[in-house]
Chain A
Amino acid sequence: MVCGAVLVAGCGGSESGGPVTLNWFVATQPGGSIQKVAKDCSAASNGRYSIDVQLLPTDASQQREQLVRRLAAKDSTVDLIGMDVIWTGEFANAGWIAPFPKAEATEVTKDVFPSVVKTASFENKVYGAPFNSNTQLLWYRKDLVKKAPTTWDQMISEADKLAAQGKPALIQVQANKYEGFTVWFNALVDSAGGSILSGPTTVSLPEGPTEDAMKVMGTLAASPAAAPNISTSDEDTTRIGFEDGSSAFMVNYTFAYASAQANAPGVFKNMGFARYPRVVANKPSAPPLGGFNIGVGAYSTHQDLAFDAAACIGGDKSELTATELDGLPPSREDLYTNKVVTKAYPGFSQLVKESIDAAGPRPLTPAYQDVSLAIQDTLQPPDRIDPSDVPSTYDELKSRLEDAVNGKGLF
């Protein structure tokens, strides 16, 4: 499998002397950054390998479905994988991706945000080269609110006031029964100072912070500021809801800025940005963390070359390409003063950097899908949480998570 430390062109290659084809299984990005990165890194390899992009479906859970199917079948054509940050623990524990050797591991994590490095690691080994990151900001209407609220409770009561005055007042948040809901819940719990898990199979879920998080959800869902379609809202419907002028606040990823600029100039000129709201007044918020890491397939016959390619894809040049063509935040801290990044995020590039730095990764466990499903099963839609009686919901969630972490029970 691994051809030793010596990188010889003919090692595992299909034709002697020709470049080895590395298959990169990844979903395409609309701006074409994936294809460009593949081309650039192939060129930079000086003829050793050529990266062939194998497209995956646009939806993240469908990407995972395709990858799991191939990896479970020990597909040796899978060399490189574009992994969502939440798959690392699962893929690593199942033996589907290869740990990066020490030298490469150091290279791909150099200058990368610590929170992002966590998402690419499992059991103290690095399993992915961080490529792009992502985080959510609070977007608000400057013409309706002078200063951005700092906490969720503040935001909800400001929205209530606006609603009473008959002005646009909705708070857009993703709360459909999908991964985006877990993103929200995790961010709330982490912002309140707790965490969902404290180890790959250990439930933490301290009562205080969790109940604070649940109260925020329940209060928002019950207030007049909740969008009528909140229980089926995702990133797209929330940006539509903000762009049509009916909302005063929205939490969403960085794409919302470019989208509003293109689709709703009227709303855009009053669009302000701020850090993700806090749950507790004196605790800085832990914004959501998204992004992609590049993993190397464990059954690949060109692992050496694949690690090399992964390092290139996770390198400065590729990350800046992704920012320039698709507006994706880089995972390397030192790039945030680069003019490509400041151009993509005019006036809020430092805010994005600060948010990713403070971000709370979602639980790092092989049973992540179970955990996420358990959370959705118990808490979605948010209007089923009664803010005045969270302890019973808390108990239910805790017992479900105990089952989930061990892969037990039916979800």
Chain B
Amino acid sequence: MAGRLRLGGRRGVTDRAREERRLGWMLCAPAVIAMLLVTAYPIGYAVVLSLQHIDLRFPDQGGWVGLSNYQTVLSSPLWWTDVLNTVIITIISVTIELALGMALALIMHRAIFGRGLVRTSVLIPYGIVTVVAAFAWFFAFDPSSGFVNQLPLIADDKAWFGDRWSAIGVIIAAEVWKTTPFMALLLLAGLTTIDDGLYEAAKVDGANAVQRFFRITLPLMKPAILVALLFRTLDAFRIFDTIFIMTRGAQNTESVSILGYNQIISRTNLGLGSAVSVLIFIMVLLIAFAFVRLLGVRMAEGRPGT
């Protein structure tokens, strides 16, 4: 144990600590290189583009315009409607997915028979190609060619996609169906790290199932829950495929990602589109920041006591 003491103090670090540092960087290096290689230039380029007026169809009209693209975006009511849509869809779908995912994780963990079947079938929705799943849901809810309207209690000609809120409802349902498995998987992995002995001890102490869940399960699963929530929220905020296939953003169901797509791809107005992307990025950063600060996702913590 002697080698662990920091004999160097403020004047320097011990050999062991230095070796640890080098090892740490070396282990991280391949991953870091893989991530930067692809994104350093494109992200930097996108930021630079957002400060210019660039439209591929009018190649002669380029030039630096400072923050005017951002001004155009932030002063447009369309942008704020889309932000509202995105926030609503994100909050509702992530909340439902967390609750459902937890229930599914518990079932997958504790099922007394057919575990393989349950675990596999829960994950299948996540494995279906996204555009196909969205199209299948769209087709199912279409008044003329779908089956939903032929169910009892539902009007035969209810136009699900003709009204903003029912369309958003179907979009959320499709998203929840598709990505609850993601949550369930991460939560299940978290569940498996809890030692059964704790439950036995609690039972002996007279705790019932609900108390065991809230006092033992939830607190011990906190890291897994936070990782799942963080990534799912960040992904949900950038929702694109499902909305595009169901309504293409009509009836005020457009999300910020569809807005970005329209500017960059349809209008080839790269300056404006890059500004939209950077703004999306900033908002997503704020969300991540909130997670880290408020909910205490402390990932970089090392050994206790250092």
Q: Which residues of A contact B (CB under 8 A)?
A: 61, 65, 68, 72, 90, 93-95, 176-178, 227-232, 237, 240-241, 244, 246, 366-367, 369-370, 373, 376-377, 380-381, 383, 407-411
Q: How far is the CA of A255 from the CA of B140 in the complex (A)?
A: 25
Q: How far is the CA of A410 from the CA of B142 in the complex (A)?
A: 30
Q: How far is the CA of A72 from the CA of B264 in the complex (A)?
A: 13
Which of B154-162, B207-215, B220-228, B282-290 makes up part of the contact surface?
Answer: B154-162
Residues of chain B contacted by A376 (CB below 8 angstroms): 250
Which of B50-58, B109-117, B294-302 makes up part of the contact surface?
Answer: B50-58
Number of A-B contacts (CB under 8 A): 97
B55 touches which one: A228, A241, A407 (CB < 8 A)? A407
A244 touches which one: B78, B144, B250, B265 (CB < 8 A)? B144
B79 touches which one: A244, A377, A381, A410 (CB < 8 A)? A410
Interface range, B side: 35 or more
Q: Please state if A178 and B248 are interface contacts (CB–CB under 8 Å).
A: yes
Q: How far is the CA of A241 from the CA of B144 in the complex (A)?
A: 7
Q: Please state if A72 and B56 are interface contacts (CB–CB under 8 Å).
A: yes
Residues 162-175 of chain B, each 1 if its beta carbon lies under 8 Å from chain A, else 0: 10000000000000
Which of B3-11, B39-47, B267-275 makes up part of the contact surface?
Answer: B267-275
Please tell me if B150 contacts chain A, counting CB pairs below 8 Å: no
Q: Which of B228-261 contact A (CB under 8 A)?
A: 246-251, 259
Q: Please state if A94 and B247 are interface contacts (CB–CB under 8 Å).
A: no
Q: How far is the CA of A229 from the CA of B144 in the complex (A)?
A: 7
- Taking the closest CB of chain B, its distance from the CB of A3, in whole angstroms, is 25
Q: A72-B56, A176-B248 in contact; A246/B259 too (CB < 8 A)?
A: no
Q: Please state if B250 and A411 are interface contacts (CB–CB under 8 Å).
A: no
Residues of chain B contacted by A410 (CB below 8 angstroms): 72-73, 76, 78-79, 259, 263, 272
Q: Please state if A373 and B144 are interface contacts (CB–CB under 8 Å).
A: no
Please tell me if B125 contacts chain A, counting CB pairs below 8 Å: no
Q: How far is the CA of A377 from the CA of B251 in the complex (A)?
A: 9
B142 touches which one: A237, A377, A381, A383 (CB < 8 A)? A237
What residue of chain A has the Cβ atom nearest to residue B78's Cβ?
A: A410
Q: Which of B55-78 contact A (CB under 8 A)?
A: 55-59, 72-73, 76, 78
A65 touches which one: B59, B72, B265 (CB < 8 A)? B265
10 A-B pairs with CB atoms under 8 Å apart are: A61-B266, A72-B56, A94-B56, A228-B158, A229-B159, A369-B267, A376-B250, A381-B162, A407-B269, A411-B78
Q: How far is the CA of A71 from the CA of B55 in the complex (A)?
A: 14
Q: How far is the CA of A227 from the CA of B72 in the complex (A)?
A: 37
Q: How far is the CA of A240 from the CA of B79 in the complex (A)?
A: 35
- Taking the closest CB of chain A, its distance from the CB of B218, in whole angstroms, is 42
Please tell me if B262 contacts chain A, counting CB pairs below 8 Å: yes
Q: How far is the CA of A330 from the CA of B135 in the complex (A)?
A: 33
- Taking the closest CB of chain B, its distance from the CB of A69, in whole angstroms, is 9
Q: Please state if A231 and B145 are interface contacts (CB–CB under 8 Å).
A: no
Q: How far is the CA of A383 from the CA of B262 in the complex (A)?
A: 23
Q: A94-B56, A177-B249, A246-B144 in contact; A232/B73 too (CB < 8 A)?
A: no
Q: Please state if A240 and B73 are interface contacts (CB–CB under 8 Å).
A: no
Residues of chain B contacted by A367 (CB below 8 angstroms): 57
Residues of chain A contacted by B265 (CB below 8 angstroms): 61, 65, 68
Residues of chain B contacted by A178 (CB below 8 angstroms): 248
